[in-house]
Amino acid sequence: MGKRGFFMLVEPQEGRIAVALEGQEFDLEDACDAFPLGGGAVQVCRIVISPSEKYVLLSEVLNELKDESELARMSQRLIDLVNGVLFIDNPVRQPIRHQGIHHRQSANGNWGVTINVPTAFARGRAGKISFAQKTAPTEQQSQICLALSDEVVMEVLTYLRDTPDWLDLYKAHETMQADLSVRFGPEGKKIVGWPSKKIKIFTEVANGARHGEKSERVREKRQRKGESVMSLSEARQFVRELCQLWLKSIGVQNGG
């Protein structure tokens, strides 16, 4: 992320829902930089919710929901997408976690007590969501907007939401690869610049892990043959690069 300036507390003028966040301070500040107030479907900032200060996620998508269970599911889904986007920015980041939901009290404008919600939800796809954009979003906010209107992008970001293992990375790669074939035909990977040699290395190691074989054994086999190997950290960096190229290709295709 860019250079940080003096960090200010803000008081958003709109919105009735604030989702409290927890995590490493540095990761939370990165989220504030990536999802600032004023643009995009998701915004992250630090505000005063008496008696303390909290990092929160704000979204007009949440403001439209009335049912608490639906609100809990959607707020977790948005945090999953934020974590997926932050992984694309920095694959060694630690995921941000859901700490609870605050409702703004209409009588005085203050924020109410936290409503705790479950921390685990299924990864199922959601339908497309429409929203009104106010000001120019950051690149990260644009990626969230894309995910909210494209179920495949939402699925890929969800695979990358935590600290992705070999199976998560393989599923993200497989989903992007299938999408490229739909969008650009059989030459999709070549068109967007995916490196075929590294993909072969990644898929062999990831496939071994996917089918229960230790990735270390796959790497040992490749080393004995004098072939290139790939560690899990290298695989995360590699899938991140594939994802950047894939998202860029979608933006170009959509006229972005």
3-state secondary structure of 111: strand
User: Has residue 10 been placed in a domain?
Assistant: no
What is the C-alpha to C-alpha distance for residues 217 and 154, in angstroms, rounded to an integer? Answer: 33
Residues 28 and 117 in one domain: yes
Residues 92 and 170 in one domain: no
The DSSP string of 5-59 is: --------SS-SEEEEEES-HHHHHHHHHHS-TTSSS-EEEEEEETTEEEEEEE-
Residues 108 and 179 in one domain: no
Residues 33 and 123 in one domain: yes
User: Has residue 220 been placed in a domain?
Assistant: yes
Whether the link from the prior residue into 186 is cis, omega within 30° of 0, is no
211 DSSP assignment: T
Residues 221 and 116 in one domain: no
Residues 22 and 84 in one domain: yes
Domain assignment of residue 248, given as a range: 164-253
For the chain, the first-to-last Cα distance in angstroms comes to: 22
Q: Determine contact, residues 21/96, Cβ cutoff 8 Å.
A: yes
User: Has residue 158 been placed in a domain?
Assistant: no
Encode the chain (256 residues) as per-residue pLDDT tens digits.
443 433 344 445 456 789 999 999 999 999 999 999 887 889 999 988 777 889 999 998 898 888 889 999 999 999 999 999 999 999 999 999 999 998 876 545 555 544 444 443 333 333 333 334 456 789 999 999 999 999 999 999 999 999 999 999 999 999 999 999 999 999 999 999 999 989 998 998 888 777 666 656 666 776 676 667 788 999 999 999 999 999 999 986 665 5
Domain count of the chain?
A: 2
User: Has residue 82 been placed in a domain?
Assistant: yes
The whole-model pTM stands at: 0.81
User: Has residue 39 been placed in a domain?
Assistant: yes
Residues 89 and 168 in one domain: no
